[in-house]
Structure formats: structure tokens, C-alpha cells
Amino acid sequence: MISALLQVLEFVALLALAVAALESYLYFHFTYYDRKWFLPASVAAVLVLTLAAAGLVLDAGRAVSWAAAAALVEAVTALVFSHLVRGRHSLPVMLLAPGFIGLALLIAYPLVFEVYLAFHDLKLTTIMVWSRTGRIPFVGFKHFFKVFTSSPLSSVSFWQLLGRTVWWTLSNVFCHVAGGFALALLLNNCRRLRGVYRTFLIIPWAMPQVVAVLALRGEFHSQYGFVNVMLERLVQALPFLAGWGVGPVEWLGRHALLTCTLINVWLGIPFMMVVILGGLQSISQHYYDAAAIDGASAWQQFCHITLPLIRPVLAPAVTLGTVWTFNNINVIYLVTGQAGGSEDADILVSALYKAAFTFYRYSYSAALAIVIFLMLFAFALVWLRFSKGSESAYG
């Protein structure tokens, strides 16, 4: 427990050292680029430092070749600094460097690695070899064909998953916006206790998602969950309802996707509500007064004042909400992810997660991930062209 803490602190210290080294390197190149000794000194320093560092871990021959390569790279870098950069933009580059190197290592590099994986064959049988030697067989487009022809899980097909994903995204976003709009309008019309209501209404968003989903999952238990208990009591109280097919439902067994959707709707409404309420409060009351004097009905006011004026607020929120919902693994995995859980509720991204970490089909899931990413990318391009939703994000 404490040793692990020390390990983490040691890492933080190392990280700070690395950042300091990076910054001094940049500072040197930005400040002394026009001295005569700049090029030879920086190449010599890099040569010596790499030789020393590589000599500690590698044998002599390889250490020398590494140091030579590093010196060559440094010569080019130094030339760039002395002839092109010439000390300009020093502070922003130094401020940005640590963050962007982090992003490059932990977001850009993994994306490239994912493409590499998709064209090679990494699975449970080859992973031990890979982790020792770093080699995996090349297989070309095989996994991309498999994405469309075989099941990512045990039986459900890619096209079924795609259909479910579309349904899941559309129904969730629609319910979030409709529910959020209704609650925001109610809150906006309500003078007293607004703050109190708002606090309570935000709770689904504020709760840790894991807790909320697992607790709600329990409430959909076929025998002891709140939903079925209520349905049963309702039928007992009003027996004629049973004739209409009302009664306890096998939520998790038969209607897993519907259950996930209900849970996610509950979770997602507060965000939309808050965004829309912010937008509503920024609309001046004068418009409504003017419209009322002209005799506009409440519905007309809503259609011709509220909706057009809320659009710039709503469009980015809907874009964001669509992407979040499309990419939502959490809810579906937490509801159906346990051993023996069904795959009736899986959408594309949760199938991706399960293919990689339940079925250990690494390369296959990398190919699936790229297909999903390209689809999302195409959607984003089309959507942005139509809605111009990104403009307001620049402020």
C-alpha cells in the first residue's frame, strides 16, 4: 500500500525531471540559436548524453549506432532552430510542449498502433510471443473482412449491432432533449424554489455513474426490483389492466436494450436540462411581452421565439450528446457485462470492448474500432456541414 504510493511519487518526480530536461533543451535552442558554437555544441552534447544513457542499457556496438542516429537528428533539429525558428514563439512552444508530448504518446501513438494492430494478427495465442519479441504476423485486410462477415461476439452480427446503435443513439438523444426541454421550461416558469428543484433534478448527473447504473440495474430485477413490484401492485389494484398485457416484465432477460435505454435516459436528462435552462434564461423577456401584446399563443411563442433563439445553444449540446451516447460503453457494460450476461443489448462500442477484453480478439477489435471510427468521422463531417454546430464553440 505505502510502497505503491512511493512508486507513484517516484514516478511523479521522474516526470518532473523529464519536463525540466525538455524545457531546458527547448530554452537552449530558442536562446542560443545564433551563436557560432550552437550547432557543434548541441550535437556534441546529444552525442555524449545518448552514448552514456544507451551504454548503461545496451551493448557497446548498439549504443554507438543509437548515439550516432540521435546526433544526426539533433543536427537537423539544431539547423531548423538556427535557420527557420530563430527564437520565435519560444514561450508558447515551451508552455505547450509537455502537454502535447503527453497527448502524442497517449492518444496519437495509440491510434497509430491501433491501425498497425488491425493489419496484424494479435490474439490470445500470439500475445505471449508478442510481449516477448514484439513480433506479430501480418494478415492484411483479413480482419476488416471479418468485421462485416462474422460476429464480433458469439452470435450477433455487425449489421444488427449497427441497427441497435442507431436506435440507441436516436432514442436516447431524443428523450434527453425532449425531457431536458420539458424540465427546463418548467423550471424557467417557476418562480419559487427553483434552486431547490434544480438541485434535486441534477442528482442523476451528479451521482457516480457506476453506482447509479448498478443501483438502477437492481431496480429492474424481475422479482425484487422496484419496477416490477410496482407493476405487480398495479395489476393487483386494477385487475382489468392484466387483460391489456400489463404486468411484471423480464427486464434484464428479455428487454435488456430497453432497460439500458431507460437507465441512460434517466442519467442523461439533467445535462440537457441544464444546458437548455441556461439558454432559456439568456432569452430576453421583452420578446415574449411583445409577442403577447400581438396576441401570440404560448405555442406560437415557443415555436417562433424560444426554438430559434435556443438553437445556437442546443446544436453543440446535441452534437456532443450524440457522440457521447454513441460511445457509451459504461451503461451497457455495467448492466450486461457480468459473466453470463446477455449480448442482446450490445451496441457497436460495447461489442468492441467485449471482443477485446472478454473474448481476447485484439486485432479483430482493432479493425472493428477503425470501422466505427471512420463511420463516426463521416457522420461528424456531414453533421457539421449541415448544422454548423462547431462555430459557437470558438466563442
Partner 1 sequence: MAEPRLPVGPALASLRRRQLVKAGLTHAALIAACLVCVYPLLRMIAVSLRPGDRLISTDLALIPAGATLASYARVFAETNFLLWLWNSLVITAVTSLIGVSLAATAGYAFSRFRFPGDRLGLTLLLGTQMIPAGMLLLPLFLMIMRLGLINTYLGMVIAYSVSSLPFSIWILKGYYDTIPRSLEEAALVDGTTRFGAFYRIVLPLSTPALSIAFLFNFTQAWNEYLVARVVLCDAQKYTWTLGLFELQGQFITQWGMFAAGSFLVTVPVLLIFLHSSKWLISGLTLGGVKG
**CB within 8 Å of 273: residues ≥ 6 apart:** 179, 180, 181, 183, 184, 187, 201
Contact between 81 and partner 1 by CB under 8 A: the answer reads no
- Grid cell listed for 286: 421583452
Question: Smallest gap, in angstroms, from Cβ of residue 285 to partner 1?
Answer: 16
User: Angle 209-219/256-281 helices, nearest 10 degrees?
Assistant: 130
Question: Smallest gap, in angstroms, from Cβ of residue 78 to partner 1?
Answer: 20
Question: Which residue lies nearer to partner 1 by CB, 34 or 289?
Answer: 289
Return phi, psi of residue 120, to 5°.
Answer: -115, 180
- Show the binding pattern over residues 8-27: x = contacts partner 1 (CB under 8 A), - = does not: x--xx--x------------
Please state, in angstroms and rounded to a whole number, the distance separating the CA atoms of residues 301 and 123. 60
Contact between 264 and partner 1 by CB under 8 A: the answer reads no
Question: Which residue lies nearer to partner 1 by CB, 47 or 172?
Answer: 172
Contact between 136 and partner 1 by CB under 8 A: the answer reads no
Question: Smallest gap, in angstroms, from Cβ of residue 64 to partner 1?
Answer: 26
Handedness of CA 8, 14, 16, 22 (dihedral sign): negative
- Show the binding pattern over residues 300-339: x = contacts partner 1 (CB under 8 A), - = does not: ------------xxxxxx--x--x--xx-xx--xx---xx
For partner 1, which residue of 21, 215, 238, 303 counts as binding (CB under 8 A)?
215
Please state, in angstroms and rounded to a whole number, the distance separating the CA atoms of residues 14 and 284. 54
- Show the binding pattern over residues 161-190: x = contacts partner 1 (CB under 8 A), - = does not: ----------------------x--xx-xx
Whether the Cβ atoms of residue 226 and residue 262 lie closer than 8 Å to each other: no
Contact between 360 and partner 1 by CB under 8 A: the answer reads no
**CB within 8 Å of 384: residues ≥ 6 apart:** 319, 390
Return phi, psi of residue 102, to 5°.
Answer: -60, -45
Contact between 209 and partner 1 by CB under 8 A: the answer reads yes
Please state, in angstroms and rounded to a whole number, the distance separating the CA atoms of residues 158 and 115. 19
Candidates 52-60, 144-152, 221-229, 251-259; binding stretch for partner 1 (CB under 8 A): 221-229
Return phi, psi of residue 295, to 5°.
Answer: 85, 20
Contact between 265 and partner 1 by CB under 8 A: the answer reads no
Question: Smallest gap, in angstroms, from Cβ of residue 147 to partner 1?
Answer: 14
Question: Smallest gap, in angstroms, from Cβ of residue 224 to partner 1?
Answer: 6
Report which residue type is found at 210: V
Question: Which residue lies nearer to partner 1 by CB, 51 or 341?
Answer: 341
